[in-house]
Amino acid sequence: MLFRALADSTRRAILDELAVRDDQTLFEICSRLAVNHGLTPTRQAVSQHLDVLEDAGLVHSRREGRYRYHTLDTSPLREITRRWPVPGDA
């Protein structure tokens, strides 16, 4: 699930943008992809990418009133260095 989520360049770009700040709407994510990455997938496509990232635990979304916000969670990435420790890292 984690590796499939990371295996797509658009999803990695979404993670790059969510790393900048928490609580982003789909509109903000789409704007960031267009301006900062030259990516203009449809909103539906971005929404599906977010679903994949959420299934992998890399993104959490929450509803606040009428709005939905997305936030990055990098903790699932620990699995990578747990499996393949980086020499020198504690």
| Residue 7 Cβ vs another protein, minimum distance, rounded to whole Å | 25
| Residue 80 Cβ vs another protein, minimum distance, rounded to whole Å | 30
> Between residues 31 and 81, which has the closer beta carbon with respect to another protein?
31
Q: How far is CA 90 from the centre of its chain?
A: 26
Using rule CB under 8 A, residue 37 touches another protein? no
Q: Is the sign of the CA dihedral 12, 59, 49, 19 positive or negative? A: negative
CA distances from 83 to 7, 21, 61 (A): 18, 29, 28
Mark residues 64-83: x for contact with another protein by CB under 8 A, - for none: --xxxx--------------
